[in-house]
Structure 1
Amino acid sequence: MPNRLAHETSPYLLQHANNPVDWYPWGSEALEKSKQEEKPIFLSIGYSACHWCHVMEHESFESQEIADYLNEHYVCIKVDREERPDLDQIYMNAVQLLTGHGGWPMSVFLTTELMPFYGGTYWPPTASRGMPGFDQVLRAVVDAWANRRDVALQQSRILTERLQKIGLGTAESSEIPPGRVGMAVRQMEESFDPQHGGFGSAPKFPHTMNVDLLMRHFVDTRNEKLLPMATTTLDKMAMGGIYDHLGGGFARYSVDAYWLVPHFEKMLYDNSLLISNYVDAYRLTKSANYARVAKESCDYILRDMTDEHGGFHSTEDADSEGEEGKFYVWTPKEVDQLLGDPLIAERFRQVYDITVAGNFEGHSIPRLKKSIAEYAQEFGTTEQELRDEMQRAREVLFNARCQRIRPGKDDKILASWNGLMIEALAKAGATFNESAYIDAAQKAATFVLEKMTDDAGRLLHTYRHGTAKLSAYLDDYTYLASAMFALYEATFEPRWLEHSQKLIDTAIEHFYDTESGGFFYTADDHEQLIARNKDFYDHSVPSGNGVAALVLAKLGKLLGNAKYLQLAQETMSAAADVLQKHPIAAGQLLVAYDYLHQPDSEVVIAAADRASCGDLIHAIHNQYQPNTLFVLAIEGEDLGTSLEPLVAGKTLLDGQPTVYVCENFQCNAPVSATEYLDTLS
């Protein structure tokens, strides 16, 4: 018989609906049962694309013996970390304090008052590989609860006090010393891998916020050391196995230092942030390769990760048919049979490293060991001819791959991650003049705003199959506010700017800490948990406080709104300790700090109609100008009240499109669109 998870919408929870464990979702029923029966809670947190979550499920949660013991002695709660990041934050902090490390599956033992007293991550069912068995852990916790409960409760109280202190992130000082961006960049230099790109050693993750900061700081300083750190990282990732050379898009991370073997799961947020990186790198360098990678990744999202109603799905699994990476790997025999022509097949195998020995468990993950240009020279052909030949071959293999059994997909729609992808598609669509990307971004934005709100108009965090639920978190509001701003920049439609303001205003009303500054992760009317966090650090996604500060700074400068600018500065001050001690771990906050302290530059384009300034708009979208904001004022179009002060009195010269540039609190003389275009070339 299915357990209570059968009534949930999360694909991860539904994966466990037929376990013999008597799972409960997080909620009053389970929490009251724990209190009434004085049983400790076993809290298991994971997500659908997590390989080791699947392993622990198969080994332990499908074991009748272990399930019987769990059901007798514990109240068992299963949580999808993507649905409840608030719970995940709190109890991950607990596991890290208890063990010195964290990860998923996360396994935490709680008192009846929800305070953690023991925890860890993956345990095998019985002792092996130097790890205690899950069966041993369960018995030891039961023994402690039965015979040393006072000690367990005392430990849980001490631990909870530490969690509450960590969650507040109270700064010892609100002063931010100068040079924080430079310090973070120096730390990046120390950990940068000049041969393979990226930062640190294996496993190697895309540090997208740091790449963003490097490009911005390069524009600010023209320090020639900075851009190669960003471009080498982007080049090597695009060549490695972490990039899907057949279908586009990036896997979560590389298990090695040179981007060859990925952990094959594909996450919406990684691809959103990487698309933005590659679009910005194209704008900065005009490298066609960056444009290709960005477009292929956008196409992957539109093709494989877009819901019929317009939202974007969350993840694709690493496993298919019970094997990690099976969907993505090849043998020489398969390539030869599919491509037919021996010469083309041989070239493809050489270019994409498809060998008899393989580069992954006897199979081969397609990757480029050298550039296409280098292979073309080696083969005695032109780069374009080889690119065209490889493109046709990749299409053949891609079509064949489509006949394979796909990895599982988590098709829930998260407001926050959708915000990241809306922003990425808006930027890509504007830059490459691809209306399909902008259309998809606008459709997703409309979907979230219309279908993922409650009766009071407040955002909901998750949607699946017609059901939206769970009060939204800070990331939902700030990522979407940033996405709406990006949609305004891409389309110059004032409605998106208005949505950006409404979202950030709601975040201020319900999440802002009026006493100490900064934003809490949960709203003032959210379910009361044992701690209320403020998150200043970047993780796999940018910190909500960092995104909030950047949106506030942009809106404040564009609209001349002193309140927004003050709140952005207060958020920075609340994060002063983080920026002083660990700036490299807060790249998004540093991006906001850098933007807030750069000279103002707002550009108003006045025109009779959009057609007359199309070339200018396209040129603007092709430039990397992270510190410049643009407004389009078309005669007769309603810009709303917010933009009126900025556009007032800005008329056309001789009836032609006219550009007004305001910098450092002063406005320059208006120039024609032609003259302004000359300054961009």
Structure 2
Amino acid sequence: MNTDTTLAPRNRLAGETSAYLQQHAGDPVHWHPWGEAAFAEAHRLDRPILLSVGYASCHWCHVMARESFADPATAAAVNEGFIAIKVDREERPDIDGLYQQALQLLRRGNGGWPLTVFLSPQGVPFYGGTYFPREASGGQSALRDVLASVSTVWTERRADLARQDEALIAALSAALPQPTGSPLDPSVQEEAIQQLAVAFDARHGGFGGAPKFPHPTDLDFLLQLDSDIGTPSPRAMALESLRHIAEGGLFDQLGGGFFRYSVDPAWNIPHFEKMLCDSAMLLPLYADAWRASGEALFRRAAELTVDWALREMRSDDGLFCSALAADDANGREGGTYLWEASALRDVLTPVEWDLCAAHWGLIDPPGFEGKFWHLRVSRPVEKLATMLGQPADAVQAVIDEARSRLLVRRDERGRAAHDGKTPTAWNALMVSALAHAGAVLGRSDWLAAARTTFDALRAARWREDIDGADRLQSLPGIDGFLDDHAFLLDAALTLHETAPHDGDLGFAARLAEVMLLRFEDDARGGFFFTAHDALPLFHRSKPALDAATPGGNGVAARALIRLARRTGNTRYVNAAERCVRLFAATVRADPASHTRLLMAARWLDEGR
């Protein structure tokens, strides 16, 4: 092994614009941003690369930073044996997505953040995990022990690592979808419904256990079926889940908007970061749930969510910021949102306290660390109104007044830190959400907000290239990925359908042409996540899995079908059909994880 130690002893993140990278600019670790310089240094020194991927609002990223990356002894071990690269996953979703996929193959388990992966100088990962503590505990190895083991393997077992690299690349290539030529038949949709029914939590709503995510694409799929057939029926699963989520701690009962996920199956205590994409995905579902049921709970959840987005997430340029941190200014998880009973009593009148304490569970034992309350609906307004013999509207009015004053008091404590990034894909999701929910709930102001953000995206991110070709940026200076194009195309069509302006369809057609030109696989169908002319990674993926946000291929296919219906251009529907056929076997293998593609297949059948 080359023992040259001429690596410049400095952290190279100070000039980066990412809030996450800036958070690490003072670390004693000699971080590089992702780029050719870091890989050239790894080649020159014959060192493995420590790749750390996270984001500014990530609680466990901050924990690992405090424990390890700010620790001089751990930093010295990193600096002596590795080239360290720090990546913001919201800035480079292509890097994050690829190495998350690779980690799942290497470890036969789930990924997450912080993502901690060790690479060869060629960029191929050979070992990794997520959060590693400073000291070994709970079956987790300490980061310094991992560093030592990886250094030993790198020095003594290089031939084994080379063989593993070849096997990993082969496995990733084998995971790419292969065209079968056969379409998806309606039975696959029924299989998806059955999968979700098996995973459905009949007691608390949602799917699976803790940690529990809201699964918005699954809920949307069930709600769009508009069916009460089956036990439980698709509509019942969707409405019951949305009801529990809106009443639980995953929803911010004072400020609106949704947290990332719940640490318990009953939605009581969330992981306290708030990300724009989560609320953007859930907002239109609550509008549709209100339309399907007429329940005031659903409308109120939608209204409070939009209020939150416009109040706390809107930047001066009309775009929406990406996230709010889980930790408060003192590094305390959830500190922005947690209450002691005495602090609540100081703000509320006796009547308000009596109602709100019953409504939000303040008369129950504290749910966070045994001493703090995180507000959730313990007793619904309708139940309290019946108990008190009062009209539900009167009880709700008292609670709403209390909510307003508690929110003011909470803001005085300081809001959670913003990540000021404004990703195109997530802003496009919010445009679609505002436009759809605004139309369903009759809110012209939401339609206007959607238009403002859409126009801001076009002004800030749509560019004429020097060769005359249009290009879309994901963030300033970063070329757009598939999700940016597909989600913005979907947003343009939703806005055109709800509050049309001249030029909407023309722009949608131009955007579709760019997406087809730069991302479609002409030979096999479907869309790559990165553009044909992007700087290559060691593997190029075609994402279809619906997760916190829907898979880009499913969104692209659905948007192209919608555009074909509006314009009559068969090229768009043909591309959508190639895409759906390409992923047919993938969808059949796990239909509930690919509901956007299932919807696209249904739309194609309806158009025949």
Q: TM-score, length-normalised on structure 1?
A: 0.85
Please tell me whether the aligned partners of residues 13 and 80 of structure 1 are also in contact (alpha carbons under 8 angstroms): yes
Determine the structure 2 residue equivalent to 1:105.
Answer: 114
Residues 164 and 530 of structure 1 are in contact (CA less than 8 Å); yes or no, is this contact kept in structure 2? no
The answer to whether structure 1 residue 13 and structure 2 residue 21 are counterparts is yes
CA shift in 2, pair 1:13/1:203, >3 Å: same
Residue of structure 1 aligned with 2:158, choices 142, 149, 155? 149
Which residues in structure 2 correspond to 1:122-521 (within 5 Å)? 122-166=131-175, 168-171=176-179, 174-218=182-226, 225-320=233-328, 321-339=330-348, 341-355=349-363, 357-361=365-369, 362-456=371-465, 457-462=470-475, 468-521=476-529
The one-letter code sitting in structure 2 at the alignment partner of 1:197 is G
| Amino acid of the structure 2 residue aligned with 1:239 | E
Range 342-351 or range 492-501, more displaced: 492-501
What CA distance in whole angstroms lies between the structure 1 residues aligned with 2:433 and 2:364?
Answer: 38
Q: Deviations over 1:346-379 (max 9, x none)?
A: 2211111114731111111111123210111112
Is the 2:197–2:232 Cα contact (8 Å) retained in structure 1? Answer: no
Q: Which amino acid aligns with 1:335?
A: L
Unpaired segments of 5 or more residues in structure 1? 463-467, 601-663, 665-681
1:77 is aligned to: 85
- The question of 1:44 aligning with 2:52 is answered yes
The corresponding residue for 1:528 is: 536
1:221: Cα distance to partner? Answer: 7.3
Letter in 2 for 1:297: T
Q: Give the SS at the match of 1:205.
A: coil
Contact 2:217 2:547 in 1 (8 A): no
Cα deviation for residue 3 of structure 1 reads 2.0
Render the CA deviation track for 1:474-526: whole Å, top value 9, x for unaligned.
00000000001011011122322222221121111110011111111111001
* C-alpha distance in 1 between matches for 2:363 and 2:177: 51
Q: For residue 128 of structure 1, report the CA deviation from its aligned partner.
A: 2.1
Q: Secondary structure at the match of 1:459?
A: strand
How much does 1:122 deviate?
1.2
Give 2:342's aligned amino acid. K
Supply the distance in 1 between the matched residues of 2:232 and 2:118 (Cα, whole angstroms): 51
1:295/1:428 contact within 8 Å kept: no
How much does 1:177 deviate? 3.6
Mapped to 2, the partners of 1:531 and 1:210 lie a distance apart of 28
The answer to whether the 8 A contact 1:335-1:349 is kept is no
Distance 1:2 1:428, change over 3 A: farther
Q: Residues 207-228 of structure 1: CA distance to partner in whole angstroms, max 9, x if unpaired?
A: 1111111122125979982211
Following the alignment from structure 1 to structure 2, what is the Cα–Cα distance between the partners of residues 203 and 69? 33
The CA deviation string for residues 180-233 of structure 1, in whole angstroms up to 9 with x for no partner, is 111101111111112211111222111111111112212597998221111101
**Partner-residue secondary structure (3-state), 2:504:** helix
TM-score by length of 2: 0.94
Q: Residues of 1 paired with 2:379 and 2:579: CA distance?
A: 45
CA distance in 2, matches of 1:153, 1:367: 52
Q: Residues of 2 paired with 1:439 and 1:429: CA distance?
A: 9
The residue matched to 2:118 in structure 1 has which SS?
strand
Structure 2 residue aligned with 1:552: 560
Aligned amino acid, residue 190 of structure 2: G
Q: Percent identity?
A: 37
TM-aligned CA deviation for residue 454 of structure 1: 4.0
Q: Distance in 2 between matches of 1:278 and 1:356?
A: 28
Higher alpha-carbon deviation: 146-155 or 421-430: 146-155
CA offset digits 1:31-56 (Å, max 9, x no partner): 11111221111111111121111111
The secondary structure found in structure 2 opposite 1:597 is helix
Q: Residue in 1 aligned with 2:4?
A: none
Residue 56, structure 1, aligned to residue 69, structure 2? no
Asked if structure 1 preserves the Cα contact closer than 8 Å seen for 2:228 and 2:236, the reply is no
Partner of 1:539: 547
Deviations 1:307-347 (A, max 9, x none): 100111000111102111111112221121111x2232122
The residue type paired with residue 256 of structure 2 is G
Question: Helix, strand or coil for the counterpart of 2:430?
Answer: helix
Contact kept, 8 Å, 1:520 with 1:534, in 2: the verdict is yes
Of the structure 1 ranges 482-491 and 128-137, higher mean CA displacement relative to structure 2 is found in 128-137
**Residues 409-457 of structure 1: per-residue CA shift (max 9 Å, x gap):** 1110101001100110111222333232222211211121111234413
Per-residue deviation at 1:27? 0.5
CA distance in 2, matches of 1:21, 1:355: 48
Q: Distance in 2 between matches of 1:220 and 1:261?
A: 31
Matched AA of 1:552:
L
Query: Which secondary structure state, in structure 2, belongs to the residue aligned with residue 117 of structure 1?
Result: strand
RMSD: 1.7
Residue 670 of structure 1 is matched in structure 2 by: none
2:450 and 2:351 mapped to 1: Cα distance? 42
Q: 1:133: Cα distance to partner?
A: 1.2
SS of aligned partner of 1:290 = helix
- SS class of match (1:179): helix
What is aligned with 2:5?
Answer: none
| Conserved 8 A contact 1:218-1:224 | no
For the pair shown, the structure with the greater C-alpha radius of gyration is 1
- The residue type equivalent to 1:90 in the other structure is L
1: distance between equivalents of 2:183 and 2:228? Answer: 23
Count of paired positions = 593
8 A Cα contact 1:521 1:544, kept in partner:
yes
Per mean C-alpha deviation after superposition, the further-off stretch among 95-104 and 12-21 is: 95-104
Could you tell me which residue of structure 2 aligns to residue 616 of structure 1?
none
Q: Which moved further from structure 2: 510-519 or 94-103?
A: 94-103
How big is the shift at 1:156? 1.7
Q: Quick one: higher RCO (CA 8 Å, sep 6+), 1 or 2?
A: 2
Q: Distance in 2 between matches of 1:174 and 1:401?
A: 56
Measure, in 1, the Cα distance between the counterparts of 2:576 and 2:501. Answer: 25
The 2-side partners of 1:27 and 1:174 are apart by: 42
Q: Distance in 1 between matches of 2:135 and 2:347?
A: 45
The answer for unaligned runs of 5 or more in structure 2 is 1-8
Task: Identify the range of structure 1 (155-164 vs 81-90) with the bigger mean alpha-carbon deviation.
Answer: 155-164
1:556 corresponds to which letter in structure 2? A
Structure 1 residue 148: Cα displacement: 1.7
Residues 558, 223 of structure 1: alpha-carbon distance in 2 compared, 3 angstrom cutoff: farther
